[in-house]
A and B are shown apart, each in its own frame.
Chain A
């Protein structure tokens, strides 16, 4: 029931609450009622035909940094 891959918005219809998303060449209809300000080019997480969150590049970077920090702690403990 869940699609966990990021998909990219390729079209926002005039109503502002729906449009088209794409991943790996597959296009799908999608509702945008649950995210603020959907724009073409945004990456979103899609669930049951609705975008439920935007995927943020900067935060993805910080996400990795967080993990690497934990790891440093672990290495510290090892050495």
Chain B
């Protein structure tokens, strides 16, 4: 099989042509995706340039790094310093600011942090460390499920605990829609997060909010194919959940992953950066696993005063798709990947970062 077919130029161009023709019937379509890797593909292949002006492709709250609250970042820094323990986490998390410090800049205060690529590496470091170690466990269900399955099957060192800020995409999207915070006509569903959750949880989204929902992969053919599928639905006045990413994703999702998640975590309310507390949108350890939960093990109170946005940063609006990055006055002037002011400029999946990589300082 030639996977490269999904990048095929002729196919891409005919999809773009098909979209242009069909989109003529509509005044304006606002299509949102909720996956940082989609934004990455859209920016890298300049897919917005292939679309007619009446189709707006918006980036939603799809980057796990961007939606991690300052409150949680402040807390993990606090835990690390007060208990003199090592914080282990993914590289993207190191440079995202909390109220005043990022994990990296907090090393000036005496915090010891180490970047890891996954939990297996964190276990390796914890085994070597003499002191306590906390894994700052970030990510949507795509990352939460691997973490859960490793916890179930691998012997963990006693000095390792977890601070979970994992989030559950389908409920996050559902609650934002209920709150009227998303002004959109259709959704492109995350390809990889949906491998875990399956597509059933999005049925409510499609039916209650009349939104065509199409799960898509990350090649240009995937994204344009999904847009065409969405337009076909709108044309026929249908709003349903469809799967463009059949080669990897099935409707039921990954049962093993769902079981691992259910065994280890409960679904709880969770705080999303700039968006406040969202009901049933996070993963927290079940009571049986209290001994792994750093929030209980170290019993340090969270601070109630925290700052989600540095002065002038408009990340919350970027995350909700109400503005595009260049509309933020800081974009490219003060805020760039070398000096990220807000979280959206930090990770590869952040919207501002993706725009900057492609467009630079236009």
Q: Do A and B come from one complex?
A: yes
Q: When the two chains form their complex, are residues B244 and A33 in contact, meaning their CB atoms are under 8 A apart?
A: no
Whether A77 contacts B90 in the complex (CB less than 8 A), given A47-B146, A52-B145, A53-B195, comes out as no
Q: When the two chains form their complex, are residues B146 and A48 in contact, meaning their CB atoms are under 8 A apart?
A: yes
For B142, list chain A residues within 8 Å (CB).
2, 47-48, 52
Q: When the two chains form their complex, are residues B192 and A50 in contact, meaning their CB atoms are under 8 A apart?
A: no
Could you give, for residues 14-31 of chain A, a 1 whenever the CB lies within 8 Å of some chain B CB and a 0 otherwise? 000100000000000101
Interface of B is mostly: helix
For B256, list chain A residues within 8 Å (CB).
33-36
Rounded to whole angstroms, the CA-CA distance of A35 and B248 in the bound complex is 12
Q: When the two chains form their complex, are residues B192 and A70 in contact, meaning their CB atoms are under 8 A apart?
A: no
> Closest CB-CB distance, A52 to chain B, in whole Å?
5
For A64, list chain B residues within 8 Å (CB).
5-6, 221
Interface residue B119 (Cβ < 8 Å from any Cβ of A)? yes
For B21, list chain A residues within 8 Å (CB).
74, 77-78
For chain B, the count of residues having a C-beta within 8 Å of the partner chain is: 57
Rounded to whole angstroms, the CA-CA distance of A36 and B255 in the bound complex is 10
For A35, list chain B residues within 8 Å (CB).
254, 256
Contact partner, B119, options A1, A48, A60, A61, Cβ 8 Å: A48
For B138, list chain A residues within 8 Å (CB).
1
Contact partner, A56, options B5, B221, B247, B260, Cβ 8 Å: B247
> Closest CB-CB distance, A13 to chain B, in whole Å?
13
For B145, list chain A residues within 8 Å (CB).
34, 50, 52
Rounded to whole angstroms, the CA-CA distance of A35 and B257 in the bound complex is 9
Q: When the two chains form their complex, are residues A48 and B143 in contact, meaning their CB atoms are under 8 A apart?
A: yes
> Closest CB-CB distance, A22 to chain B, in whole Å?
15
For B195, list chain A residues within 8 Å (CB).
45, 52-53
Interface residue B15 (Cβ < 8 Å from any Cβ of A)? yes
> Closest CB-CB distance, B192 to chain A, in whole Å?
6
Task: Give chain A's interface residue range (CB within 8 Å of chain B).
Answer: 35 or more
Interface Cβ pair total, 8 Å cutoff? 142
Of B121, B145, B347, B349, which is in contact with the most chain A CB atoms at under 10 Å from its CB? B145
Q: When the two chains form their complex, are residues A67 and B247 in contact, meaning their CB atoms are under 8 A apart?
A: no
Interface residue B64 (Cβ < 8 Å from any Cβ of A)? yes
In the complex, residue of chain B having the shortest beta-carbon distance to the beta carbon of A77 = B22
Rounded to whole angstroms, the CA-CA distance of A29 and B119 in the bound complex is 12
Rounded to whole angstroms, the CA-CA distance of A67 and B11 in the bound complex is 9
Q: When the two chains form their complex, are residues A4 and B192 in contact, meaning their CB atoms are under 8 A apart?
A: yes
Contact partner, B118, options A17, A48, A67, Cβ 8 Å: A48
Q: When the two chains form their complex, are residues A34 and B257 in contact, meaning their CB atoms are under 8 A apart?
A: yes
Contact partner, B143, options A17, A47, A54, A62, Cβ 8 Å: A47
Q: When the two chains form their complex, are residues A48 and B147 in contact, meaning their CB atoms are under 8 A apart?
A: yes
Rounded to whole angstroms, the CA-CA distance of A18 and B33 in the bound complex is 33
List 5 A-B residue pairs with CB atoms under 8 Å apart, sorted by A's residue number.
A1-B138, A45-B195, A48-B147, A49-B121, A60-B247
- Report B's interface with A, CB cutoff 8 A: 1, 3, 5-6, 11, 14-15, 17-19, 21-22, 36-37, 64-65, 90, 92, 117-121, 138-139, 142-143, 145-147, 149-150, 152-153, 191-192, 195-196, 217-218, 221, 225, 228-229, 232, 244-249, 254, 256-257, 260, 347, 349
